[in-house]
């Protein structure tokens, strides 16, 4: 149903209206990205400069000799109507407006411009993305607006009413291992709206998980239908901005969106199995859980790696997130005791590795032994590098590598969701900071779901479990 | 009332029983720290090595020629009773047991050892700190157990039942600018307990704010009395471990503590004006707010620095934390419009700096202009460094420095609580990462309250406001 828009995402040629020589400008970055990565024809449009990055410019889209499928607009808003007219005459299929300051500014003049742009585009059979948005990030096709976005592609599809949030999802998500099929920032949703884009991603074979940031809805009934359809096909996670009075009023000045009642949204998510994230962190954490953990429906949790008081707090936080720290079952306890009577009798869940000095068992052996018991559904393991006292840097990677090996073993051999926790703490100790960053990079590279705190890991696992339970009940 | 314990914290000489040559051991780090930093006499006790770090060892505390006020024990638990006897004969005033594996292991033998240790110490007039704890961090006197703890001292006094949590408070706190008067990790609280230590810090002139991590209470009525007394004199912030069934059971295996009902704790905190923190992050955030922000009792908040969708989410998160994003008052709006009719009419709270390109006003001018209005009680400003496209690193520090200057101006000239938000996001972009770390270091150094997210900043401000409101009502 949504793939009728597929042509928009597969242009053969792209022109950038307002392509710029200034490296800080959107019209430069975007053009540079497609020039270097997009396989079709690219054209810079600029009335003053004769060339951009060595490519001769055109004064107007109408001057371009070949076909132009897709135009990106970075022109001032006063030139928007003319650009729509030019694109329609040229037979352009889709026009993305990075250009802003229309209805979202609250001025009647801006709203009127939008109406004109829309009616002219409709009359000419052209679709509009935006205005007031970053448009399309499609790494597989070499299309991106950010300077540091990865070109490696993946299976996560995102729609976002906010360009800044779309960029944050891509950048922060990428550093945590997420790779994207398509990310679409759609701003004021003048023509192409949230329902169109959700339907598209629901049918898009390159997209396995749909995530989104939304402020308001243009077409309520269609949106509900699109969301229900998408959720019946793939996991869908949404973060809604404008939950409160302050947020709603801010949303109106941001994208002109009228945010609906939060209670309606919450109820709709529950009913449709849409995962309702309450912060950017939760949105990303949940997508990471869905992409980097196997399905699970049980809440019996084993926690490792927390020593002493941290273990106590971990237990509190996991239980408060709705998981259950199953006490060590009798048969496991017997096995632990047969290996080491003293520690075997003492050890609990969370496993406190710091009490085990002098034991014949290592913390890793204890965790593995407990984790393999079928009563446990999921594991959270806190890991950290250690830097040796005498200043030698070699100890840290070694220990980190060993920890990683242990955890890989745990994840690979249990077939259960395993979350790693590596604290975000910015140490004053440069070696410890570097070792932490290196450990995190390695864990992310090895495919692990890595979280900065126990409670965020617990919440992500609970979201995963809730989702697959809903799936089970629905199927 | 609590200063009768003052002699324990001002020893003239310290001996380390179980001082070690191995750099990874507590008995080494502790001895090295006091050897290099403590002004009194220090003595290593070790039956096998003849010297530790160049200092001749003693076989027993009784062999030491001079007086010994304070002994730190890193000996195995089987030697604990003998050590207590030796210390009593020597006239030692306080004995700190890093040594563990007593009642917390759940064994009757361990519990019996503790009872013996206590009765012998009591008979000999000696106080015991611990067992199963890290003891005392007193930077001003050159006493510390950690390798990287700062020697610079401050006004925050901490008691912690968990040594790991005490270490985390010091390390993470230090990286965020906290400096401590004394941090006392007291573990199983066999003799010196939470009530003794709270009373002590309440009267300690070096301590202006008391923070703590607690799992269970040894003497309920005395604890309540001590907490009420402390809270009547200074801000008190506590994090309690063992809020849930899992946490309580973990606490028992960690320090042998029997955690009480959470409801009782919560009610007690409310009544006594004790700030009840629910995570390590919240404990530190609140102490940072109390030490780095002026008192405030109003919840009218101005938020700057969030662009677009981030501003919408910021508004939601701040309102959900109990703060109010006061819309821009009429007289401020008029002033903004008189400076710039278009942006002056459009700008909202949160201030979205990204819409202001081309305006005569800078985002900083807008924020300052709004913040100075007396209706606003507090300000949260999100800042971030920016790295230039062309690879030149110079732009980043310049922009960061400018941002910092603006914010310093905001904080210094308004006399209102100002929180800075610098995201913890670990960028893949090395220059951006370094610029972020440098910006955070500089802000911390300049005395700002820095938080990693808007919602944590908002919560910390709300805690500050709630505390000073309680103070007002009580006085």
Read off the pLDDT of each residue in B308-313 and give the average, rounded to a whole number: 88
> pLDDT at position A342, please?
86
pLDDT in tens, A347-362: 889 998 777 777 888 8
> pLDDT at position A391, please?
42
On the question of pLDDT at A405 being above 80, the answer is no
Instruction: Judge whether A51 and A57 are in contact, CB under 8 Å.
Output: yes
List Cβ neighbours of A442 (8 Å cut-off, separation of 6 or more).
A400, A401, A404
Closest residue by Cα to residue A283 from A440, A144, A172, A148? A172
Contacts of residue A453 in chain B, CB cutoff 8 Å?
A: 281
Instruction: Judge whether A229 and B322 are in contact, CB under 8 Å.
Output: no
On the question of pLDDT at B11 being above 80, the answer is yes
Dist. CA A274–CA A272, nearest whole Å: 5
Comparing B287-296, B433-442, B460-469, the range with the smallest average pLDDT is: B433-442
Contacts of residue A315 in chain B, CB cutoff 8 Å?
A: 244, 246-247, 249-250
- Model confidence at A409, pLDDT cuts 50, 70, 90, reads confident
In a mutational test of the B interface, the residue from A164, A250, A354 whose CB has the highest number of chain B CBs within 10 Å is A250
pLDDT in tens, A6-60: 888 899 999 999 999 999 899 999 999 999 999 999 999 999 999 999 999 999 9
On the question of pLDDT at A419 being above 60, the answer is yes
Question: Are residues B250 and A318, on separate chains, in Cβ contact within 8 Å?
Answer: no
Max avg pLDDT among A217-226, B226-235, B362-371: B226-235
- Model confidence at B36, pLDDT cuts 50, 70, 90, reads very high
Read off the pLDDT of each residue in B60-71 and give the average, rounded to a whole number: 96
- Model confidence at A72, pLDDT cuts 50, 70, 90, reads very high
- Model confidence at A346, pLDDT cuts 50, 70, 90, reads confident
Comparing A342-346, A403-407, B320-324, B467-471, the range with the smallest average pLDDT is: A403-407
Instruction: Judge whether A278 and A460 are in contact, CB under 8 Å.
Output: no
Question: Are residues A309 and B163, on separate chains, in Cβ contact within 8 Å?
Answer: yes
> pLDDT at position B233, please?
96
Average pLDDT value for chain A: 90
> pLDDT at position A389, please?
45
- E strand or H helix at A16, and its extent? strand A13-17
List Cβ neighbours of A83 (8 Å cut-off, separation of 6 or more).
A17, A61, A71, A73, A75, A95
Question: Are residues B309 and A426, on separate chains, in Cβ contact within 8 Å?
Answer: no
Instruction: Judge whether A113 and A76 are in contact, CB under 8 Å.
Output: no
> pLDDT at position B368, please?
87
Percent of chain B with pLDDT over 90: 69
Comparing A372-381, B190-199, B381-390, the range with the smallest average pLDDT is: B381-390
| Per-residue CA distances from A426 to B36, B167, B433 (Å) | 27, 15, 11
- CA dihedral for B287, B288, B289, B291, sign (positive or negative): positive
> pLDDT at position A394, please?
44
On the question of pLDDT at A387 being above 60, the answer is no
Max avg pLDDT among A423-427, B191-195, B249-253, B344-348: B191-195
Instruction: Judge whether B166 and B130 are in contact, CB under 8 Å.
Output: no
Contacts of residue A164 in chain B, CB cutoff 8 Å?
A: 307-310, 354
> pLDDT at position B91, please?
96
Instruction: Judge whether A299 and A465 are in contact, CB under 8 Å.
Output: yes
Instruction: Judge whether A257 and A216 are in contact, CB under 8 Å.
Output: yes
> pLDDT at position A403, please?
65
Neighbours of B330 (CB within 10 A): 8
Contacts of residue A242 in chain B, CB cutoff 8 Å?
A: 312, 316
> pLDDT at position B394, please?
43
> pLDDT at position B257, please?
61
Give the CA angle between residues A200, A206, A211 to the nearest 5°. 60
> pLDDT at position A1, please?
55
> pLDDT at position B202, please?
97
On the question of pLDDT at B428 being above 70, the answer is no
> pLDDT at position A392, please?
41
pLDDT in tens, B228-266: 999 999 999 999 998 888 888 777 766 666 556 788 889
B131 cis-preceded (ω within 30 degrees of 0)? yes
Closest residue by Cα to residue B136 from B33, B36, B228? B33
A121 to chain B, minimum CA–CA distance in Å? 26
Dist. CA A465–CA A468, nearest whole Å: 5
B312 to chain A, minimum CA–CA distance in Å? 5
In this predicted model, which residue has the larger pLDDT, A393 or A148? A148
Read off the pLDDT of each residue in B410-434 and give the average, rounded to a whole number: 79
Question: Are residues B279 and A313, on separate chains, in Cβ contact within 8 Å?
Answer: yes
Among candidates B171, B247, B320 on the partner chain, residue whose Cβ is nearest the Cβ of A315 = B247
> pLDDT at position B401, please?
66
Q: Which residue of A has its CA nearest to B308?
A: A254
Question: Are residues B242 and A172, on separate chains, in Cβ contact within 8 Å?
Answer: no
> pLDDT at position A395, please?
44
In terms of pTM, does the model score above 0.95? no
* Beta-sheet strand order (sheet of A418-421): A301-304, A378-382, A418-421, A449-451
Read off the pLDDT of each residue in A205-217 and give the average, rounded to a whole number: 95
Read off the pLDDT of each residue in A191-218 and give the average, rounded to a whole number: 95
- Model confidence at A400, pLDDT cuts 50, 70, 90, reads low
> pLDDT at position B453, please?
92
- E strand or H helix at B364, and its extent? helix B363-371
Comparing A100-109, A159-168, A407-416, A464-473, the range with the smallest average pLDDT is: A407-416
Contacts of residue B327 in chain A, CB cutoff 8 Å?
A: 249
- Model confidence at B278, pLDDT cuts 50, 70, 90, reads very high
On the question of pLDDT at B400 being above 70, the answer is no
Question: Are residues A389 and B29, on separate chains, in Cβ contact within 8 Å?
Answer: yes
Q: Which residue of B has its CA nearest to A320?
A: B244
Q: Which residue of B has its CA nearest to A344?
A: B105
Helices (H) and strands (E) in chain A, counts: 17, 17
Among candidates A148, A309, A433 on the partner chain, residue whose Cβ is nearest the Cβ of B254 = A309
Would the ipTM clear 0.90, i.e. be above it? Answer: no
Read off the pLDDT of each residue in B410-421 and give the average, rounded to a whole number: 83
Dist. CA B260–CA B257, nearest whole Å: 9
> pLDDT at position B389, please?
45
Percent of chain A with pLDDT over 70: 92
Contacts of residue B165 in chain A, CB cutoff 8 Å?
A: 308-310, 313
> pLDDT at position B438, please?
86
Contacts of residue B133 in chain A, CB cutoff 8 Å?
A: none
pLDDT in tens, A336-345: 999 999 889 8
Closest residue by Cα to residue B49 from B14, B21, B77, B69? B21
- How many contacts (CB atoms, under 8 Å) link A and B? 214
> pLDDT at position A321, please?
96
Instruction: Judge whether B163 and B133 are in contact, CB under 8 Å.
Output: yes
Contacts of residue B241 in chain A, CB cutoff 8 Å?
A: 309, 312-313, 316
| Per-residue CA distances from A109 to A101, A102, A114, A155, B340 (Å) | 10, 8, 9, 41, 17
A314 to chain B, minimum CA–CA distance in Å? 7
Contacts of residue B27 in chain A, CB cutoff 8 Å?
A: none
Instruction: Judge whether A407 and A383 are in contact, CB under 8 Å.
Output: yes
On the question of pLDDT at A216 being above 50, the answer is yes
pLDDT in tens, A256-304: 665 567 888 899 999 999 999 999 999 999 999 999 999 999 999 999 8
B309 to chain A, minimum CA–CA distance in Å? 5
């Amino acid at each position: 149903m949504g793939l009728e828009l597929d042509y928009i995402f597969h242009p053969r040629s792209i022109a950038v209206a307002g392509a710029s020589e200034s490296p800080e400008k959107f019209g430069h970055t975007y053009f540079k990205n497609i020039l270097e990565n997009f396989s079709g024809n690219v054209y810079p449009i600029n009335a003053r400069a004769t060339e951009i990055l060595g490519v001769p410019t055109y004064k107007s889209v109408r001057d371009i000799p070949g076909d132009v499928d897709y135009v990106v607009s970075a022109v001032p808003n006063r030139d928007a109507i003319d650009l729509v007219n030019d694109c329609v005459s040229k037979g352009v299929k889709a026009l993305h407006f990075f250009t802003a300051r229309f209805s979202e500014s609250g001025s009647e003049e801006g709203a009127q411009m939008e109406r004109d742009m829309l009616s002219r585009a409709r009359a000419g059979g052209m679709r509009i993305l935006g205005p007031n948005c970053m448009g399309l990030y499609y790494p597989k096709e070499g299309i991106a607006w950010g300077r540091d976005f990865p070109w490696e592609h993946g299976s996560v599809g995102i729609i976002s009413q906010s360009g800044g949030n779309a960029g944050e999802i891509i950048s922060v998500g990428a550093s945590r291992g997420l790779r994207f099929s398509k990310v679409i920032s759609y701003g004021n949703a003048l023509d192409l709206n949230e329902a169109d884009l959700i339907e598209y991603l629901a049918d898009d074979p390159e997209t396995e998980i749909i995530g989104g940031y939304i402020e308001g809805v243009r077409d309520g009934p269609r949106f509900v239908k699109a969301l229900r359809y998408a959720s019946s096909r793939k996991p869908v996670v949404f973060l809604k901005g404008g939950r409160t009075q302050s947020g709603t009023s801010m949303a109106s000045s941001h994208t002109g969106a009228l945010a609906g009642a939060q209670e309606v949204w919450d109820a709709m998510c529950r009913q449709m199995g849409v995962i309702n994230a309450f912060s950017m962190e939760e949105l990303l954490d949940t997508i990471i859980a869905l992409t980097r953990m196997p399905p699970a429906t049980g809440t019996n949790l084993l926690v490792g790696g927390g020593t002493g008081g941290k273990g106590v707090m971990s237990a509190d936080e996991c239980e408060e997130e709705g998981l259950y720290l199953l006490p060590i079952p009798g048969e496991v306890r017997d096995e632990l005791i047969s290996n080491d009577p003293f520690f075997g009798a003492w050890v609990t869940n969370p496993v406190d590795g710091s009490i085990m000095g002098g034991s014949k068992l290592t913390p890793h052996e204890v965790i593995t032994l407990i984790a393999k018991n079928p009563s446990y559904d999921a594991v959270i393991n806190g890991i950290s590098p250690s830097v040796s006292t005498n200043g030698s840097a070699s100890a840290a990677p070694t220990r980190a590598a060993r920890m990683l090996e242990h955890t890989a073993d745990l994840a690979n051999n249990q077939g259960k969701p395993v979350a790693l926790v590596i604290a975000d703490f910015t140490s004053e100790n440069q070696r410890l900071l570097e070792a932490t960053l290196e450990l995190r990079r390695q864990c992310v590279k090895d495919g692990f779901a890595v979280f900065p705190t126990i409670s965020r890991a617990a919440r992500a696992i609970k979201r995963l479990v809730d989702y697959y339970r809903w799936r089970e009940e629905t199927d």
